[in-house]
A = this chain, B = another copy of it.
Amino acid sequence: MSKEEKKHHEIDALGEFGLIDSLTKDAVLKNPSSLLGVGDDAAEIELSTKESMLLSTDMLVEGVHFNLSYVPLKSLGFKAVSVNVSDVLAMNGKPEQLTVSIGVSSKFPVEAITELYKGIHSACEFYNVDLVGGDTVSSLSGLVLSISVIGRAAKEKICYRSGAKENDLIVVTGDLGTSYLGLQILEREKGVFLENPNIQPKLDGYDELVKKQIQPIARQDVIDIFQELDFVPSSMIDISDGLASELLHIAKSSECAVSIYSDKLPITEKVILTAEELSLDPYMCAMNGGEDYELLFTASQKDYEKIKNHPSFSIIGFVTDKSQDNLLIDKNNSAVRISAQGWKHF
């Protein structure tokens, strides 16, 4: 590498989000049907005065986003669909169509690709989404999956990251940290296996953790619950990178701040016990673990009665003015500032 080249910025330094921001900030939307571009869970394209189409796309790369040494291909196919479907759900939309492009080495057996597609077809069936297109190409090394999903929503029901208002309640679905601990268990057993291939992996008793990591279910049921409750969140995002990171996205997009309470975080006993076993902080797992594919949303106080008793929802905090810090408050009322990777005492 020449001196000249060394002066170039490497992508690592800028980070994934920074790179996307810098490359797409020039994208001016000219077609009147392009209502919303980069910057939310999905793009929004106008269909009529009352309805919009939602479009989201994700790329998954072997060795970066998945590891074929412990992820069965069928589960990988299912998960890849879940990840994309989750983005449309996060806008309060109904996913309907999907395209799947795969890049695959010619040495990959057809049987393996068939397993992958079994998982994709199974997820399409589960979410009632149609596989309508795609591309299959050679890759020189490793498996690459690119999925785009299309959904629809009534305009008045679409939830953006930017809609949170001061005093809104902050709510999450399901429980947190489960998927991250599933990954830690898989990594531990892989380490044991690599040291001694005669020892079988011990996954018994960790089923719910491992299953949520390997084959997460996007919360399509929650969109139906909203409908039944006649409730529309003021903002919403799905939890792919970890609760802390998603809270900061909502705060930034909505020009507000958030305060949440650690004792309100939905953490199962299994997560607490497994975290302890692995010498991890269960709150850290819930805040920064990622890949939960639960939904994080905000609700106006007037909707409190609608959502307060639903078993799928946990109210974890409230929205504050943007002049405030984003805070995680513990049971002793001591506050730490939330950051996307871990958090700092102040």
Contacts and interface: CB of A to CB of B under 8 A. Distances in A.
Interface of A: 5, 8-14, 16, 19-20, 22-24, 26-31, 33-34, 36-38, 42-43, 45, 47-48, 53, 55-65, 96-97, 99, 101-114, 117, 121, 124, 128-142, 144, 146, 148, 150, 152
22 contacts: A8-B110, A16-B138, A19-B136, A22-B110, A22-B114, A30-B128, A31-B96, A33-B97, A34-B97, A43-B99, A43-B132, A45-B150, A53-B53, A57-B133, A57-B148, A59-B146, A64-B138, A99-B148, A101-B146, A140-B141, A144-B144, A148-B148
Interface centre among A24, A58, A136, A142 (most CB of B within 10 A): A136
What's the dominant secondary structure at chain A's contact region?
mixed
A136 B20 CA distance: 6
Contacts of A106: 10-12
Contact of A23 (B34, B113, B139): B113
A102 to B, nearest CB: 7
A108 B14 CA distance: 12
A137 B23 CA distance: 13
B61 A138 contact: yes
A133 B150 CA distance: 12
A131 B23 CA distance: 11
Contacts of A103: 59, 61, 64, 144
Contacts of A37: 130-133
A20 to B, nearest CB: 5
B109 A63 contact: no
A102 B152 CA distance: 25
A72 B112 CA distance: 35
Contacts of A133: 37-38, 42-43, 55-57
A22 to B, nearest CB: 8
A19 B113 contact: yes
Contact of A140 (B11, B13, B64, B124): B64
A40 B276 CA distance: 54
A189 to B, nearest CB: 23
A61 B139 contact: yes
Contacts of A140: 61-64, 141-142
